[in-house]
Amino acid sequence: MSAVDLKPLAERAGLNDYELSQISDLLGIQWAPMNIPMSRRLQTLAAFVWIYLILFGEALAIYLFIQLVYSRFWWAAILYGVWMLNDIDICHRGGRVSQWVRNWTWWRYLCDYFPINLVKTVDLDPSKNYMFAIFPHGVISLGAFGSFCTNATNFHKLFPGMSCHLITLGGHFLVPFFRDLALAIGMCASSEQSLLHLLDQKKYEGNAVCMIIGGAAEALDAHPKEYKVILSRRKGFIRVAMKSGASLVPVFSFGETDLFHPPNNPENSLLRRFQEKVRQWTGISPMFPMGRGLFQYSYGVLPIRSPVTTVVGAPMEVKRNLEPTNEEIDAVHAEFTKRLQTLFETEKVKYLKYHEEATLVIT
């Protein structure tokens, strides 16, 4: 953190402690100490690889596929392309999870970096299916990812006999190679067809379909110590739960909004209008994940080391109704909203140091 931590570098550069301190102060950089344990270095490396995979993984996958097409292995690209076209709808038909991928050591280092923890409040019946409604989205939903896309937080031990599938935009499954990783960790597309398939009691038991309800729009309000979620106008997940008869489970990731410090973007600001336009065109919010760097704590896109605790609340039973009216949907939505508010108020004392000032704003 100080000039003392960089003394070996200073000696090689011929600088004394005062000169190095002056340079550090001038640049405004808070350097990481030299004597960090190897386990923490590996955690930081895991977070580094993951954030760059999220930011540039799809572009890299497309580039590699194009390079393969124009290489002497063009025939492999053709074979993969034909197979991918025949496999394109798998994301709407339950996906293709790989427990080997979900058990990668990389995920454990990633989750330990913050750390990310998964907490249950009640047991769930593995003979039933559930819809987990997750809040908040945060900048890139690390709590949901670590809890429901990997086995690093012990989902299967907390909820024996159950499987989980995180729901994401269908466009991700059109990207070669990247789609295969998304499928392997249990992701599926956010279509009604996909959700009803996963929640079909005749096909599956013990499925937890995990949806981040606020989506990309909610990411624009991800600021430290703020919990502004989009729920009032989100009712599609209620309709799906009623059609399938799946129980609704409120899930809240405490600390999710503390991992980055994105620029201020109040309503109607130039930045916010730009972000909204891009989201409307692409379905993805252009975020600026300002965090820390690999060797210093002042600048970069790595998330900040701050705990995230994803709490799974008690299930809300939903009566199966193949053709629910708007009034019936509104009634279930109102009850779910109350349960989400109760979960936040009850659990925030345990997991937020600033719980006295933390409020849940529902829009």
Assign 264 a pLDDT band (cuts: 50, 70, 90).
confident
Examine the pLDDT at 314 and tell me if it is beyond 60.
yes
100, two tokens: 């080997």
Assign 298 a pLDDT band (cuts: 50, 70, 90).
confident
The reported pLDDT for the residue numbered 8 is 54
Contacts of 28 (CB under 8 A, 6+ apart): 298
Tokens 């900048």, residue located? 139
What would the pLDDT profile of 14-69 be if each residue is shown by its tens digit?
A: 555 554 455 554 456 787 787 889 999 999 999 999 999 998 999 999 999 999 99
Q: Which domains does the chain have, with CATH numbers?
A: 1-35 (no CATH), 38-362 (3.40.1130)
State the average pLDDT for the chain. Answer: 90
The reported pLDDT for the residue numbered 355 is 95
The reported pLDDT for the residue numbered 279 is 78
259, two tokens: 């991992």
What would the pLDDT profile of 175-234 be if each residue is shown by its tens digit?
A: 999 999 999 999 999 999 999 999 999 999 999 999 999 988 898 888 899 999 999 999
Percent of the chain whose predicted confidence (pLDDT) is above 70: 92
Examine the pLDDT at 285 and tell me if it is beyond 90.
no
83, two tokens: 């197979």
For the entire predicted model, the pTM comes to: 0.89
Of 123-127, 287-291, 298-302, give the range with the top mean pLDDT. 123-127
The reported pLDDT for the residue numbered 183 is 98
Percent of the chain whose predicted confidence (pLDDT) is above 90: 75
Q: Do 351 and 171 contact (CB within 8 A), yes or no?
A: no
Examine the pLDDT at 2 and tell me if it is beyond 50.
no
Preceding peptide of 160 cis, ω within 30°: no
Which residues sit opposite 252 in a β-bridge? 135, 311
Examine the pLDDT at 81 and tell me if it is beyond 60.
yes
Examine the pLDDT at 4 and tell me if it is beyond 70.
no
The reported pLDDT for the residue numbered 3 is 41
49, two tokens: 């690889």
- Nearest-10 Cα torsion for 352, 358, 362, 363: -120
